[in-house]
Amino acid sequence: MLAAPRELSYIPQPVVRGKQYPRSGLSSRRRESRARQKLLLLGLVLTGIIIGWSLTFLAMQVLLKGYKIDSMKRELSTLQRENEQLQLEVARLKAPERVARVATSKLGMVEPETEQIYYVPQQTGNGKQVQVATTEPSRPVVTGAAPGRQSWWLALAEALHQWLEPARQARAGV
Protein backbone atom coordinates (compact mmCIF):
# COMPACT_ATOMS: atom_id res chain seq x y z
CA MET A 1 0.00 0.00 0.00
CA LEU A 2 1.15 3.20 -1.01
CA ALA A 3 0.34 6.29 0.91
CA ALA A 4 -0.03 9.64 -0.52
CA PRO A 5 1.82 12.47 1.15
CA ARG A 6 -0.40 14.56 3.32
CA GLU A 7 -1.07 18.06 2.46
CA LEU A 8 -0.69 20.63 5.10
CA SER A 9 -3.82 22.68 5.70
CA TYR A 10 -1.91 25.59 7.10
CA ILE A 11 0.95 27.62 5.89
CA PRO A 12 3.88 27.67 8.27
CA GLN A 13 4.91 31.13 9.33
CA PRO A 14 8.53 32.17 9.26
CA VAL A 15 10.11 33.20 12.59
CA VAL A 16 11.49 36.71 12.76
CA ARG A 17 13.69 37.66 15.74
CA GLY A 18 12.21 34.99 17.97
CA LYS A 19 8.61 35.89 17.22
CA GLN A 20 6.11 34.39 14.95
CA TYR A 21 4.05 36.39 12.62
CA PRO A 22 0.56 36.79 13.85
CA ARG A 23 -1.90 34.19 12.81
CA SER A 24 -3.69 35.07 9.75
CA GLY A 25 -7.05 34.68 11.62
CA LEU A 26 -6.36 37.47 14.18
CA SER A 27 -6.21 41.00 12.97
CA SER A 28 -4.54 43.85 14.84
CA ARG A 29 -7.96 45.33 15.61
CA ARG A 30 -9.02 42.20 17.37
CA ARG A 31 -5.85 42.14 19.44
CA GLU A 32 -6.43 45.77 20.48
CA SER A 33 -10.01 44.92 21.36
CA ARG A 34 -8.88 42.06 23.59
CA ALA A 35 -6.33 44.28 25.30
CA ARG A 36 -9.05 46.86 25.94
CA GLN A 37 -11.34 44.17 27.30
CA LYS A 38 -8.61 43.00 29.68
CA LEU A 39 -7.98 46.57 30.86
CA LEU A 40 -11.70 47.13 31.31
CA LEU A 41 -12.01 43.91 33.28
CA LEU A 42 -9.03 44.88 35.44
CA GLY A 43 -10.56 48.33 36.05
CA LEU A 44 -13.90 46.78 37.02
CA VAL A 45 -12.21 44.38 39.44
CA LEU A 46 -10.21 47.21 41.04
CA THR A 47 -13.35 49.36 41.25
CA GLY A 48 -15.20 46.49 42.93
CA ILE A 49 -12.39 46.03 45.43
CA ILE A 50 -12.31 49.76 46.21
CA ILE A 51 -16.09 49.86 46.64
CA GLY A 52 -15.96 46.80 48.90
CA TRP A 53 -13.27 48.37 51.11
CA SER A 54 -15.19 51.64 51.21
CA LEU A 55 -18.39 49.91 52.28
CA THR A 56 -16.50 47.96 54.94
CA PHE A 57 -14.92 51.19 56.23
CA LEU A 58 -18.31 52.93 56.35
CA ALA A 59 -19.89 49.98 58.15
CA MET A 60 -17.13 50.10 60.76
CA GLN A 61 -17.64 53.85 61.19
CA VAL A 62 -21.38 53.34 61.71
CA LEU A 63 -20.65 50.59 64.23
CA LEU A 64 -18.19 52.77 66.15
CA LYS A 65 -20.61 55.72 66.19
CA GLY A 66 -23.32 53.39 67.48
CA TYR A 67 -21.06 52.33 70.36
CA LYS A 68 -20.32 55.98 71.11
CA ILE A 69 -24.04 56.85 71.10
CA ASP A 70 -24.75 53.99 73.51
CA SER A 71 -22.03 55.12 75.90
CA MET A 72 -23.29 58.72 75.74
CA LYS A 73 -26.84 57.53 76.48
CA ARG A 74 -25.57 55.66 79.54
CA GLU A 75 -23.64 58.74 80.66
CA LEU A 76 -26.72 60.93 80.10
CA SER A 77 -28.91 58.66 82.22
CA THR A 78 -26.27 58.65 84.96
CA LEU A 79 -26.07 62.44 84.89
CA GLN A 80 -29.88 62.72 84.96
CA ARG A 81 -30.06 60.48 88.04
CA GLU A 82 -27.33 62.53 89.70
CA ASN A 83 -29.15 65.76 88.81
CA GLU A 84 -32.38 64.45 90.33
CA GLN A 85 -30.54 63.52 93.53
CA LEU A 86 -28.96 66.98 93.68
CA GLN A 87 -32.34 68.65 93.14
CA LEU A 88 -33.77 66.60 96.01
CA GLU A 89 -30.82 67.65 98.16
CA VAL A 90 -31.41 71.33 97.27
CA ALA A 91 -35.10 71.01 98.12
CA ARG A 92 -34.21 69.37 101.43
CA LEU A 93 -31.70 72.10 102.28
CA LYS A 94 -34.11 74.90 101.29
CA ALA A 95 -36.97 73.57 103.43
CA PRO A 96 -38.19 76.36 105.77
CA GLU A 97 -38.21 74.02 108.77
CA ARG A 98 -34.55 73.14 108.22
CA VAL A 99 -33.56 76.79 107.65
CA ALA A 100 -35.30 77.79 110.89
CA ARG A 101 -33.65 74.91 112.78
CA VAL A 102 -30.17 75.81 111.50
CA ALA A 103 -30.76 79.52 112.20
CA THR A 104 -31.79 78.88 115.81
CA SER A 105 -29.40 76.06 116.67
CA LYS A 106 -26.18 76.85 114.77
CA LEU A 107 -26.41 80.61 114.22
CA GLY A 108 -27.99 81.53 117.54
CA MET A 109 -30.92 83.43 116.04
CA VAL A 110 -34.26 83.68 117.84
CA GLU A 111 -37.81 83.97 116.62
CA PRO A 112 -39.08 87.59 116.81
CA GLU A 113 -41.93 88.29 119.14
CA THR A 114 -45.15 89.63 117.69
CA GLU A 115 -44.55 93.16 118.98
CA GLN A 116 -41.18 93.18 117.17
CA ILE A 117 -42.73 92.66 113.74
CA TYR A 118 -43.69 95.67 111.62
CA TYR A 119 -45.21 95.58 108.17
CA VAL A 120 -43.97 97.98 105.50
CA PRO A 121 -46.30 98.59 102.55
CA GLN A 122 -44.76 97.64 99.27
CA GLN A 123 -45.20 100.00 96.30
CA THR A 124 -45.38 97.30 93.61
CA GLY A 125 -49.14 97.39 93.46
CA ASN A 126 -49.77 93.70 94.09
CA GLY A 127 -50.94 94.23 97.69
CA LYS A 128 -48.26 92.19 99.45
CA GLN A 129 -46.46 93.46 102.51
CA VAL A 130 -42.84 93.01 103.55
CA GLN A 131 -42.24 91.69 107.07
CA VAL A 132 -39.43 93.33 109.02
CA ALA A 133 -38.40 92.38 112.59
CA THR A 134 -37.21 95.10 115.00
CA THR A 135 -37.46 95.97 118.67
CA GLU A 136 -38.89 99.47 118.31
CA PRO A 137 -39.37 101.70 115.37
CA SER A 138 -36.86 104.53 115.64
CA ARG A 139 -38.52 106.47 112.83
CA PRO A 140 -42.04 106.41 111.51
CA VAL A 141 -42.64 104.03 108.60
CA VAL A 142 -42.83 105.73 105.20
CA THR A 143 -46.27 105.04 103.81
CA GLY A 144 -47.04 107.82 101.40
CA ALA A 145 -43.81 108.17 99.42
CA ALA A 146 -43.73 109.33 95.85
CA PRO A 147 -44.58 106.61 93.32
CA GLY A 148 -41.85 104.93 91.30
CA ARG A 149 -38.45 103.55 92.16
CA GLN A 150 -37.71 106.20 94.75
CA SER A 151 -40.54 105.03 97.02
CA TRP A 152 -39.37 101.44 96.85
CA TRP A 153 -35.83 102.44 97.71
CA LEU A 154 -37.00 104.67 100.51
CA ALA A 155 -39.14 101.90 101.96
CA LEU A 156 -36.24 99.47 101.78
CA ALA A 157 -33.83 101.95 103.35
CA GLU A 158 -36.27 102.67 106.15
CA ALA A 159 -36.86 98.97 106.78
CA LEU A 160 -33.12 98.29 106.91
CA HIS A 161 -32.62 101.26 109.21
CA GLN A 162 -35.29 99.98 111.58
CA TRP A 163 -33.87 96.49 111.49
CA LEU A 164 -30.25 97.57 112.12
CA GLU A 165 -30.98 100.32 114.69
CA PRO A 166 -31.18 97.98 117.73
CA ALA A 167 -27.76 96.53 116.89
CA ARG A 168 -26.28 100.03 116.61
CA GLN A 169 -27.78 101.05 119.92
CA ALA A 170 -26.44 97.89 121.57
CA ARG A 171 -22.94 98.58 120.24
CA ALA A 172 -23.08 102.21 121.32
CA GLY A 173 -24.19 101.19 124.83
CA VAL A 174 -21.37 98.67 125.24
**pLDDT value of position 149:** 45
Strand (E) or helix (H) holding 79: helix 28-94
DSSP secondary structure, 21-46, as one string: PPPTT--HHHHHHHHHHHHHHHHHHH
Q: What is the tens place of the pLDDT at every residue in 78-128?
A: 999 999 999 999 999 999 999 999 998 998 888 888 888 877 766 555 555
Distance CA 139, CA 134 (A): 12
160 vs 36, which has greater pLDDT? Answer: 36
Distance CA 117, CA 111 (A): 10
142 vs 3, which has greater pLDDT? Answer: 3
Average pLDDT over residues 134-140: 53
Instruction: Give the domain ranges of the chain.
Output: 112-173
Grouping H, G, I as helix, E, B as strand and the rest as coil, residue 111 is coil
**pLDDT value of position 174:** 52
**pLDDT value of position 145:** 44
Whether 116 and 139 have beta carbons less than 8 Å apart is answered as no
What whole-number percentage of the chain has pLDDT above 70?
A: 67
Distance CA 91, CA 86 (A): 9
Of the listed ranges 23-27, 67-71, 81-85, 158-162, the least confidently predicted one is 23-27
Q: What is the tens place of the pLDDT at every residue in 24-56?
A: 555 788 888 999 999 999 999 999 999 999 999
13: left (phi over 0), alpha (psi -120 to 50) or beta: beta
Confidence of residue 148 (pLDDT cuts 50, 70, 90): very low
Whether 163 and 133 have beta carbons less than 8 Å apart is answered as yes
**pLDDT value of position 117:** 82
